[in-house]
Amino acid sequence: LAAMAMLGETTQSLTDQYLADLEDLDDAGSEAGEESEDIDEMEEDAEFDEEAAEMEALKASTGETLSGLWDSEKLQSHMKKIDAKLDIVPEPTEEFNYEEYDLVVQCNTMLVELHNEIVAIHKLVRDMYAPKFPELESLILNPLDYARVVKKIGNDMDLTSIDLTGLIPSATIMVLSVTASTTAGKPLAPEVLERVMQA
């Protein structure tokens, strides 16, 4: 009887452990589900940002201004707020500074808007400049470097006469020169080139 009682207690404790493990798995599964939902939301946000950038590019192609944020009063006043805060030496305190927190949040929002604007301008320039030098977008992936190189090259077909030193690495300059000598691209019409340079 004593052996059966011990066996019953052991079986009961194993059953309790098994049920506890199942509950832990359910909790972990719900946390994983929440993480999965967070990832899905982040992917949707990224898709929305890309769609917003494409809408900006579409506005630009219809003649509306594209670089609205860079020249805006909103950005200028925000930069003045940052400069004013940089001039102040903070005193150690345990109180939470809501004003600085709000400024950091605004900075993050502004960075997202600037990124979207850069993406939209890059897409527009890339699409308009592709007939001139279609291989360029695969050789220079950084949007800002791409814009600088396009501005420097313009409508010239012979890249050996263009000094790209300081804009991109020398190895990339060599690849660009060789690729440009075999490209199937043709010079852009003056009005298209002017539009590219304005963007």
What tens digit of pLDDT does each residue of 112-139 get? 998 998 889 899 999 999 999 999 999 9
* Mean of pLDDT values over 148-166: 87
Environment class of residue 111 by beta-carbon count within 10 Å: exposed (0-12), middle (13-18) or buried (19+)?
A: exposed
pLDDT at 110 over 70: yes
Helix axis angle, 143-153 to 98-129, nearest 10°: 40
Q: What is residue 21's predicted lDDT score, i.e. its pLDDT? A: 62
Give dist(CA 10, CA 3) in Å, integer: 10
Angle formed by the axes of helices 73-87 and 98-129, nearest 10°: 140
pLDDT tens-digit readout, 56-90: 544 444 444 456 777 788 888 888 888 888 888 77
Q: Strand ranges (DSSP E) for 51-135?
A: none
186 or 19, which is more confident? 186
Sign of torsion over alpha carbons 167, 173, 176, 177: positive
Which single residue is written with the structure tokens 């279609």? 134
